[in-house]
Amino acid sequence: MNRAFSPINRQYWIPDSETKSCNDCGLNFTAFRRRHHCRFCGMIFCKKHVSSKKTNLSQKILNMICDKCIEAINKCEAKQAQRSPTSLCSSPSFFQGNTSNTFPIKNIPPKQPRIYTKCENPLIEIERMQSIINTEDEITENLFNNYLLNRTKILVSSLGIQEEWNDILVVLVNNVVKSICPSVQYRGDSLDITKCIRIQKIICEDTSNVGFTNGLVFPKNLVNKKMCKTLDSPKILMLKSFSIIEHGSMSMISMEKLIEQEESRKLMVLKKIQDLTPNIVMCEKSLPQDIIDSLTKFKIAAIALVKPKILKLLSRATSGKILENPNEMFIEKNFLGTCINFYSESRGDTNFLHFEGFKDRSTIGTIFISGPKETELDWVKKSLKSLMKEYRNIRIEKSFIEDFKILGIEDFYTQMQETSIVFKQFIISENNPCKDPKICSGEFYSVEDSALGEFLIKTIEKIDSKCKVCNLSWGNHNYYYIRKEGRIKICIHRENFQQNTKDSSSTNIYVNRECKYCSRFEKYKNPLSSTMWEYSFYKFINNFFIKSSMISSAINCKHNFFNSSRFHFYIKDSAITIEYENNPCYKVLSINNRPDNTTVIKKKIENIVDKIKNYGVKIIEELIQTSKELLLNANNDVAEEEKEESEWFWQSLKNQLSLITENLSLELVKLYDLSPLKFSNVLEVETFRRSLFFKICDAKLIVSNILSILKVFLRKEKTSFNNTINETFTVENKNMRGVVDEDEFWRRRSLTIFGSKCPEKGTKIYETLNSKDFKALKRGNLTLETGKNNLFIPVEEDDCMSIIAYTLNSKQYYEEILKDLENLKEMHMIESELLNCTEKHFQFQFSTYSSEQVKELIRNEDIIGIYGDLITFNVHIFYPRQFHVIRERVADNHANFIQSIYQSENKNEQLGKSKATFSKSFDERYIIKVLDEKEFTMFKDLAPNYFRHFCNESFHNMPSKMVKTLGCFRVFSKNHTTGRTKIEWVLLLENLGCIMPKDIQVYDLKGSFNHRRYVEIGERRTKMDKNYMEDFGGLPLTIPKEAREILDMSIFNDSLFLYKQNIVDYSLLLMISAKEKVITYGIIDYIAKFTLEKAIERKYKKISGTNDPTIAKPLAYKTRFRTNIMKMFFLEADN
């Protein structure tokens, strides 16, 4: 400290004769226990309690001083440190890592001293700032007055105050704002102008006692009527207490000695007061009567029981200091306050003391309001405080607007009725939240608010200090203030900027503005003006959220001033950037409101019909052409005499070829006329395709056999061929004529006669059978039987979903499962069915060649090349009744559900670390997940409790976000042709993606942020927690309040249920469409139990150095999942 405390003059020492004992321990003085005076208070102590050397706070050695004096000196130095200008390196910041609130919260005054700037003459700077605020042209002044008048009328009307107060309030507010100028920068004042104003109510019938006084006035009487009531240029001594003896740690002494010490000290104090010659003594507490008498004798006016607030105001206005007690008079210097006038005056029935004519007239003022009703005066007082804040606010706002050459000011002033701000604060370090989010609030230009310059200095000095949470410097942090659909981002960084000053410790602030959209900068970095320095930080932040048409002419930019601006503030070698960013509120889509798939079904039908027409027409035209060529060749290659020998045979051959051509022509016409409008669902189209397939196969089979007969005729001798034909027809005439028609003959018996099988390579028929068109036509093992309502589902060997759909559409499934559940409509019946479940499963086995239409052909020849492979399927459905009930409630009706899952997409995906295979239905409504047998068994064990949890959600108002499981199946298939066998354990689930747009980002969130929860670029895996934090800069998604509340309850219910079932490793699947601003989410992977294997995996990860292993015990996993999911990823939108 620069200040030196000098010993008091010896004239104030207590004479040796007046004290017989030590003032501390109370022991009597003797020839061996000598008297020693404290050089700073004059009291007498023994040698033990007066140290020859002691060090104060400023590390200065003081000689011969008692314990009380060293304590008092230290207190004075501490107070002086608070009153002195704070340097850049020692100033506090709002972003302190060791505090619970990193921003001043409403109703909690700042604990740290205010910052103000050193200058040679602060009064001149304050007067200059006051002149800038109050000097206006006529147009702007009228604009201000109109604004003030309108706001006054609104307040007076809303509070029920008499209209005659309108003009009075306008005059009073104008006088106050133009006379009083608080300054944070130069005096360390509060931004709140009302803290500089006393509003004094006078209850009387006379309403003329209304006015403003540029001084401090308060109701009080002098302690003695004989004291002087009018003083010019008085010197004022201000005390908190007149207690002379501090008992503290004093040892037990007699009352006589205590009285003796007090009397001695009182004489010293009165002598000191007499030497100081103050005109007024003010004390926060009462004064002893003998002191009052002495002060009256010295012609000193005394005021007792002064409120601390008034004492502080007077101290600030008179530049005096408030002493704790009279003992500090011997230590402090220059502590007396001064003013020009003091007088006592009666107004109504109350006496008021006036202190006027301060050196700095802008520090304090008093408003008088009078009237007969105290309640009305209270409302007037409230109106005055509100209007004074707003009117000074708008005056400073004008200067801010002029500094940045803002246009569109009229529109901006309409937004000035906002007086406070509420926002959410986030501190982000390297894409991770450094501290828990805080909700902050405050009024503009209030005690809890901060000046813009003060905020910048406090923040910039923290750039190199370490955050106690993440142990990184505050320069690596970003600060976000989120409100409504926007957020303010504040960054701190080092930047070399040379200020035009010789003082290296200068805290001068420079500002430059950049437009984010057109990248235009202001030409120069301008010093922050005094009015901008005093601008409310809360108001500055709030301006970014106001929708207005303001633009700036400074950089010839046409974009919105605040929304498009990036402000750069420079202090020494550091810079702060403040800018606005959009913070969209994402709409949450519910899987319960999945879109209608009618359009998808129609497109699917149109697609299938187009394919049937394309490849069906080609195949039929090729068959017709082949039939015509065969008929022509039969006529040309066989002699007439040979035809006559087997007349019936050759005539039948011609008739058969003609009939095939005729029938195929009819089918061709039908195909040309085929329209998607003829079909109501996809299965009807597939049934039509199956029917067409069999017709084409029959025609191909007959044409192929005719071709084989003709080849045999050309190879064999004529006699041998004719004999074979005649012998055959003799048998046929006896056994089959009239029973088997010609079509059956050419399809079956001709193969037996000539030993022909499938068409030979190189023939036109062979090329037709192996063409892409025919393979497309026979896709799906069409030899299977039709299901319920004679609708057919094509089954692919590698399409597990189609196998399941075929099983669910089978007649056997209907008879055994669905028939009993058709009348299950009442809620209690459904709940009873779900809760009273037993592990009864449904089994269904079927084969590709079980159709009666094909069995006869199999006996005669191998026709695999035409109809497809021989495959056997076996499907087990676990808990079929319960899952059918769930599907009926959360999905479509059974028919539409079957239609959705009858075919999956062509591609399978392995997106998670477990490498489980996923495939979606063609309409993307449902998804199947193929598990290993162990995981499948875990879910099967969980199923009864899962049904109970489903009941709680559906019937007992317990929200859940678990993605619904709609069935669990064991699917077995064996291809007897290729020898391939496959067993799959399958879960059928809802697909969250069906309600989302196409271009989305998907995240698998567990609430764990270890390094394993990150997917590198190029990996074909779902992104994880750390990817989300990286993509969104560590900020949560804003969702509507109602959606957030439902999510809170759902996460609580679901995590509690899974914890009770000993389930871990579940996660929240989050899908985000940044373009459409919509999201959806659901809990998935609720299968794995915390087994010994999981415990070993967790232990291994801990040993290997993973800070936060993904696997945890169920209770710890539940707690982490609940806390981090809600805190890190989702934010409730403002109303």
Q: Give DSSP secondary structure letters for 798-845.
A: T-HHHHHHHHHTSHHHIIIIIHHHTT--SHHHHHHHHHS-----EEEE
pLDDT tens for 133-184 read: 877 777 778 888 888 888 889 889 988 888 889 989 999 999 999 888 888 8
H-state helical runs in 56-164: 67-83, 122-134, 138-159
The pLDDT of residue 875 is above 80: yes
State the CB neighbour count (10 A cutoff) for residue 524. Answer: 8
Residue ranges of domains in the chain = 10-83, 102-114+404-583, 215-248+260-360, 598-770, 780-995, 998-1135
pLDDT tens for 20-53 read: 888 778 788 888 888 888 887 778 888 888 876 6
Pick the residue with more confidence: 155 or 258?
155
pLDDT tens for 513-528 read: 888 888 777 766 788 8
pLDDT tens for 545-575 read: 887 777 777 777 778 788 888 899 998 888 9
pLDDT at 238: 92
Would you call 786 helix, strand, or coil by DSSP? Answer: coil
d(CA 45, CA 35): 6
Would you call 981 helix, strand, or coil by DSSP? Answer: strand
Please give the C-alpha separations between residue 1047 and each of 439, 779, 1064, 1077, in angstroms, as whole numbers: 20, 45, 19, 18
Fold adopted by 780-995: Phosphatidylinositol Phosphate Kinase II Beta (3.30.800)
- Six-digit token pair at 383? 């109106």
pLDDT tens for 1102-1125 read: 555 555 667 788 999 999 999 888
pLDDT at 83: 45
Q: Give me the percent of the chain exceeding a pLDDT of 90.
A: 24
> How many residues belong to the chain?
1135
d(CA 355, CA 333): 23
Please give the C-alpha separations between residue 187 and each of 118, 125, 194, 363, 562, in angstroms, as whole numbers: 10, 11, 16, 9, 30
- Superfamily of domain 998-1135 in CATH is 2-Layer Sandwich (3.30.810.10)
- Six-digit token pair at 3? 């200040």
pLDDT tens for 888-918 read: 888 778 889 999 999 998 766 655 555 678 8
pLDDT at 512: 86
Binned at pLDDT 50, 70 and 90, residue 275 comes out as: confident
**∠ CA 648-649-653 to the nearest 5 degrees?**
115
- Superfamily of domain 10-83 in CATH is Zinc/RING finger domain, C3HC4 (zinc finger) (3.30.40.10)
State the CB neighbour count (10 A cutoff) for residue 628. Answer: 14
pLDDT at 96: 40
Residue type, 252: M
- Superfamily of domain 215-248+260-360 in CATH is GroEL (3.50.7.10)
Is pTM, for the whole model, over 0.85? Answer: no
974 — phi, psi (to 5°)? -140, 125
> Which residues lie below 8 Å from residue 281, measured CB to CB, with a gap of 6+?
236, 237, 239, 273, 287, 295, 300, 301, 302, 303
Which of 932, 907, 910, 931 shows the shortest CA–CA distance to 920?
907
Which of 89, 317, 91, 90 shows the shortest CA–CA distance to 189?
317
